[in-house]
Amino acid sequence: MQFGVFTIGDVTTDPTTGRTPTEAERVQSMVAIARKAEEVGLDVFATGEHHNPPFVAPANPPILLSNIAAQTTGLQLSTATTLITTNDPVRLAEDYAYLQHLSAGRNDLMLGRGNTGPVYPWFGKDIRKGIPLAVEHYHLLRRLWREKSVDWEGEFRTPLHGYTVAPGPLDGVPPFVWHGSIRSPEIAEQAAFYGDGFFHNNIFWNKEHTEAMVRLYRQRFEHYGHGAADQAIVGLGGQIFMADTEEEAKRIFRPYFDNAPVYGHGPSLESFTRDTPLTVGTPEQVIERTLGFADYVGDYQRQLFLVDHAGLPLDAVLEQIEILGTQVVPVLRQEFETRRPAHVPSDPPTHASLVAEGPDSPHLQVISATAGLDAAEEAAV
Amino acid sequence: MTRHVVVLTAGLSQPSSSRLLADQIAGAVAAEVGARGEAVDLQTYELREYAVDLATMMATAGMPTARLDELRRAVSAADGLVVVTPVFAASYSGVFKLFFDALDPDALGGMPVIIAATAGTPRHSLVLDHALRPLLTYLRAVVMPTGVFAATEDFGGGAAGRDLTKRAGRAAAELAAHVVSSGGDAVAGFTPSAATRDAGVGIPTQVTPFRQLLGRQLGPVT
């Protein structure tokens, strides 16, 4: 199972000191966070993509990830998320393949739609077309990574004739793709159709909702013949802050919580802890809460923690990653493997595992579904 | 079959004149549905009790709470609705509007609704037609022609009090006709109903097969 951190790269004033990091400091902090993650034995670093203040998460994540690739050796590099709606799928095909070559195949990506209205028109798109954009762009992206010379015409991009992506995917094997969605069943369906991973960023949601979304993805993954429902590739988010005692953790984190972007000046730390996966307490409490996720989504493959937002200073963030790597993740690894049945994969596919599947790998097909494709079967759903 | 009518009242004080009006209209609805030979189940909710849940949802970019979800579900599943607000600063109260802001745009499609309001003075009576009616029309509810407005003096005796009872009865009769014609006796697919509404709670039980989403992108499956 993979464990890691994901960041949205928000530039937020530290409410306890009034200090706001510069953009340069925040960008460099993301590199430091990734390096620390590798140092303490975490598996994954994932960056968001943003096009508006207060976020300095890169408009083009492969830039940050290639810099991190150059400073790490084993860390898996991912995104949370790459915008499949407002980006040109041709650029995505080029950039993420390029990153594969630079990182020796250490990258995957997670696709999302983005929910900031004005970003769409800035890129000539319409947020009301979010789902059709995600569907058309991703299908094109798959073809660009799997077909030598692509002829394509669609609704949202200028047509292509005789286009071949350069550089092509490393070893001819495209990166593994996750689809992230909080509440759109169409995206769970998309992930299931292609046999891709599904990431539910549950950090603002109750477990009943997360459970329902993941269940839908698992059922449809099986429907399309990629394996049993419990073998589908699932990722979750989590939000934590740790100290030696729960009281101490809450004392330190409360001002950050109370002033955080998105939920600050809203619900109390206590009610948010009750209603969402937020855990502020001891490493033992984080372990117990995180292990509980598998009780409602099933055994899953990737767990990403949010540890660096709301204006927390870098040294505090690095300390959280240190605790994660030394006290939390080793226990989680062992406990999750103990409860996982043998037929359920522990890790999501990696470049090495996909290469090992050879030329007949379903991963190399644009559409790899082996069931559920004809109209009669659909009618039976 | 039993018809379900939900009554929402946004009064803040206790006792509340909005609640008083809500109860009066609810009684009239029960009588009018009963007179048409059908049973009715009336559930009354005080929106004040959901003020913190509504504020949480608004302050977290939409994180729902379990009890608010339950109310949203009950509202969309109803056969008819009665909504009552006090007039604050020449319009519906903030808590009243917060609730409608928390609804899915398809949560009230075709829903028969009685609109009602209370105020300290009859000079606010047009709030029904200037504020409540457009709000419910936007949500594609079917607003009854008779709205029920009660100023403080309407709760007293004389012509004003008698007129309020009459207005409540007329609105209830209008609602009852809609409520009774929906549900069991209605021809499926011809009238909007609970079945076509989306409370926006949880995730849809029906998925659109991906082939359909892909459309012409798909080409021949090999």
Angle between the A89-103 and A130-146 helix axes, to the nearest 10 degrees? Answer: 50
Nearest residue to A75 (alpha-carbon basis) of A29, A38, A46, A102: A38
> Each residue's pLDDT tens digit in chain B (222 positions)?
899 999 999 999 989 999 999 999 999 999 999 999 999 999 999 999 999 999 999 999 888 889 999 999 999 999 999 999 999 999 999 999 999 999 999 999 999 999 999 999 999 999 999 999 999 999 999 999 999 999 999 998 889 889 999 999 999 999 999 999 976 544 555 555 666 798 988 887 778 899 899 987 766 544
CATH topology of domain A2-379: TIM Barrel (3.20.20)
Taking CB atoms and an 8 Å cutoff, what residues of chain B touch A140? 217
Chain B within 8 Å of A189 (Cβ-Cβ)?
yes
The phi-psi region of residue B215 (left if phi > 0; otherwise alpha if psi is between -120 and 50; otherwise beta) is left
pLDDT in tens, A198-244: 999 999 888 999 999 999 999 999 999 999 999 999 999 999 999 99
Domain count across chain B = 1
Please name the member of A212, A220, A265 whose beta carbon is closest to the beta carbon of B203.
A212
Distance of CA A253 to the CA centre of its chain: 24
- For residue B42, the distance in angstroms to the closest alpha carbon of chain A comes to 28
Judging contacts by C-beta atoms under 8 Å, the chain B residues touching residue A190 are 210, 213
Say whether A334 sits in a helix, a strand or coil. helix
Q: Do the chains contact at A263 and B59, CB–CB below 8 Å?
A: yes
Q: Is residue B146 part of a domain?
A: yes
HEC per residue, A160-229: EEEECCCCCCHHHCCCCEEEECCCCHHHHHHHHHHCCEEEECHHHCCHHHHHHHHHHHHHHHHHCCCCCH
Q: Which residue of A has its CA nearest to B58?
A: A266
Instruction: Give me the pLDDT at residue B61, please.
Output: 85
Quick: pLDDT tens for A295-325.
Answer: 999 999 999 999 999 999 999 999 999 999 9
Out of A57-61, A313-317, A344-348, B29-33, least confident range: A57-61
- Partner-chain residue, chosen from A154, A220, A265, that has the shortest CB–CB distance to B207: A220
Three-state SS at A239:
strand
Closest CA to A64 of A37, A103, A10, A13: A103
Please tell me the predicted confidence (pLDDT) of residue B221.
46
Residues of chain B neighbouring A276 (CB-CB closer than 8 A):
63
Whether residue A379 is predicted with pLDDT greater than 90 in this model: the reply is: no
Tokens of A352: 């090495």
- Confirm whether B182 is domain-assigned: yes
Which residue ranges make up each domain of chain A? 2-379
Mean pLDDT of chain A: 96
| Report field, pTM of the whole predicted structure over 0.90 | yes
Which A residues, 204 through 233, put their C-beta within 8 Å of a C-beta on chain B?
Answer: 204-206, 208-209, 212-213, 216, 220, 224
Note the pLDDT of residue A375.
Answer: 64
**Structure tokens belonging to residue B108:** 């009230």
Asked whether residue B53 is assigned to any structural domain, the reply reads yes
Q: How far is B172 from chain A (nearest CA, A)?
A: 38
Distance (Å, whole) CA A201 – CA A99: 24
Helix (H, G, I), strand (E, B) or coil at B168: helix
Mean local confidence (pLDDT), A5-16: 96
pLDDT at position B183, please?
Answer: 61
Residue A348 Cα distances to A76, A345, B154, B173, B215, angstroms: 11, 7, 69, 62, 29
Query: What is the CA angle A245-A251-A256, rounded to 5?
Result: 125
Give the pLDDT score at B182. Answer: 78
DSSP 3-state of B205: coil
Tell me how close the Cα of B98 comes to any Cα of chain A, in angstroms.
15
Q: Which residues of A touch B204 (CB under 8 A)?
A: 185
Find out whether A79 and A61 touch, Cβ atoms under 8 Å: yes
Q: Measured between beta carbons, which residues in chain B are less than 8 angstroms from residue A213?
A: 203
Q: Determine the pLDDT at residue B215.
A: 85
Stretch A132-156: mean pLDDT = 97
Per-residue pLDDT at B135: 98
pLDDT at B44 (0 to 100)? 98
Q: With respect to residue B222, please indicate whether it lies within any of the assigned structural domains.
A: no
pLDDT in tens, B22-69: 999 999 999 999 999 999 999 999 999 999 999 999 999 888 889 999
Burial class (CB in 10 A: 0-12, 13-18, 19+), A286: buried
pLDDT at B217: 76
Mutate to test the interface with B, among A204, A268, A276 (most CBs of B within 10 A): A204
Write the CATH number for B161. Answer: 3.40.50.360
The residue segments making up the domain with residue B134 are 3-217
CB pairs under 8 A between A and B: 77
- Strand blocks (E) in chain A: 2-7, 44-47, 76-79, 82-83, 109-112, 150-152, 160-163, 177-180, 197-200, 234-242, 279-281, 302-306
Q: What is the pLDDT of residues A19-34, one digit of tens each?
A: 999 999 999 999 999 9
Distance to chain A for B139, nearest Cα, Å: 19
Judged against a pLDDT cut of 50, whether residue A87 lies above it is answered with: yes
Contact status of A266 with chain B (Cβ, < 8 Å): yes
Per-residue tokens: B23: 């109860």
pLDDT the model gives residue A90: 98
- Chain A residues near residue B221 by CB distance under 8 angstroms: 367, 373
Task: With beta carbons under 8 A apart, name residues in chain B contacting A204.
Answer: 60-63
